[in-house]
Amino acid sequence: MAVIDLLNIQPTQLCKDLRGRFIMLYGQAKSGKTSMSAMWPKPLLVAFEKGYNGLVGVRPVDITSWADFKQVCRQLKKPEVKEAYETVVIDTVAIAYSLCEKYILNREGVQSIGDIGYGKGWGMLKDEFETAFRELTQLGYALVFIAHSKTKKTEYTDEEGNELDALAPDLPNAAYQIINRMVDVIGYIGVEYDIKSGASSRYLYTRGTPTIFAGSRYRYLAPRIPLGYQELVDAMAEAMEKEANMTGTNIINSTDVDYGLSVTKRSFDETMAEAKALWNKILATYPEDGREKLRTTVVNVFSHDMQLSKATPEQQDMVELVIEDLKKLL
Fold for domain 14-252?
Rossmann fold (3.40.50)
Nearest CA among 9, 25, 59, 288 for reference residue 143: 25
pLDDT average, residue stretch 83-106: 95
What are 246-258's pLDDT values in tens digits? 877 666 555 444 4
What are 204-238's pLDDT values in tens digits? 999 999 999 999 999 899 999 999 999 999 999 89
What are 113-164's pLDDT values in tens digits? 888 888 889 999 999 999 999 999 999 999 999 999 999 888 887 778 788 8
Among 176-180, 244-248, 290-294, 319-323, the range scoring the smallest mean pLDDT is 244-248
Quote the pTM value. 0.73
Query: Residue 3's pLDDT is what?
Result: 52
Whether residue 53 has pLDDT greater than 70: yes
Mean pLDDT of the chain: 87
Q: What percent of the chain has pLDDT over 70?
A: 90
Residue 43 neighbours by CB distance under 10 Å: 21
